[in-house]
Structure 1
Amino acid sequence: MSLYQDFKPSILFLAKFIGLYIILNVVYGFYLDASKGKADIMTQWVTEQTADIIDLYEDKISTGPKEDLKSIFIFKDARAVLSVYEGCNGLNVMVIFIAFLFAYGNLSKSMLWFIPLGILVIHLFNLLRILLLFHVTISMPDFLYFSHKYLFTAFIYIAVFGMWALWIFKVNEK
């Protein structure tokens, strides 16, 4: 029984985190199913925002649906450069971020402003990630797989870990 008592805080954290993560992922799945085989609204929004940023310094940037309808292309000069799929919209990373905060502590006043701030930071990092992938696709296409799979995935998760550390050591009221 002493072993359980020693690890009780860790076990409770993991149970809360996994439970909330599963619940939020089920809700996310229903959200994706509601898109009826098309790209979801968040994916459209993220793709449009990225294209708008690129359009500030590049000519002839546009977006349009991919044949599978679950992805959206970013075009340059009417040539499809990058396909943005639902997994690129940042929502799953936001789910992980939120699940951690709730698992770490109870709802508090600081959580009411830190969660929206964290979601905004994740969104901005995700826009930057897609923007960089666009440029990697154009200038170093052989580097795209590594950039997408490892480099820029690490990039966004390092931002999340940084926000978690900020929460644990500076913001949380415990």
Structure 2
Amino acid sequence: MSLYQDFKPSIYFLAKFIGLYIILNVGYGFYLDASKGEADFMTKWVTEQTAAIIDSYEDKIATGPKDDLKSIFIFKDSQAILSVYEGCNGLNVMIIFVSFLIAYGKLGKRMLWFLPFGVIVIHLFNLLRILLLFHVTISMPDFLYFSHKYLFTAFIYIAVFGMWVLWIFKINDK
């Protein structure tokens, strides 16, 4: 058997995954361009949801645009605490998740419920990530860079990896 035949399923998976990822990211780029220099809808929505959660147990929480207009501040007592950029809206992580699922499994009933389930889980983990970053900014500002760049990024990708494992070993019917 040739080397190509041995690795054909893996090559096919990678080609599908990379192709879908590129297509969805190009679509995401068009979505961001449509925002015309302002923060996109999803970034606003995620920021407002996070602020609403914080506002349920903290006083004087608000959101507002940053000077660059591409990000949204979360304010506490009229002081800007955290800036949420378009990369923090979770859409890119959702694109990776969806690309993997479609590349790995076949479209069917199981995928039709697992895709939205996974997107919702990613969204909830992302809200929790931003919420925790807000508190890190207030209580341990020197720890913010590490928390944002490594700790909470790993947090959300571990959740995605866990859902992939769930999909591969428990839900997908391959």
Same fold at TM > 0.5: yes
Structure 1 Cα separation of the partners of residues 21 and 126 of structure 2 = 20
Whether 1:110 and 2:110 are equivalent positions in the alignment is yes
Alignment of 1:1-174 (within 5 A): 2-174=2-174
TM-score (normalizing by structure 2):
0.99
Structure 2 Cα separation of the partners of residues 169 and 31 of structure 1 = 34
Paired letter, 2:70: K
Structure 1 Cα separation of the partners of residues 102 and 74 of structure 2 = 36
Shift of 1:100: 0.1
1:72-113 CA distance string (max 9 Å, x none)? 000000000000000000000000000000110221110000
TM-score (normalizing by structure 1):
0.99
Identical counterparts, % of pairs: 85
1:103-135 CA distance string (max 9 Å, x none)? 102211100000000000000000000000000
What is the SS of the residue equivalent to 1:110? helix
What is the SS of the residue equivalent to 1:106? coil
Paired letter, 2:82: L
**CA-atom RMSD in angstroms:** 0.6
After the TM superposition, which parts of structure 1 deviate over 3 Å for at least 4 consecutive aligned residues? none
What is the SS of the residue equivalent to 1:173? coil
**Which residues of structure 1 form unaligned runs of 5+?**
none
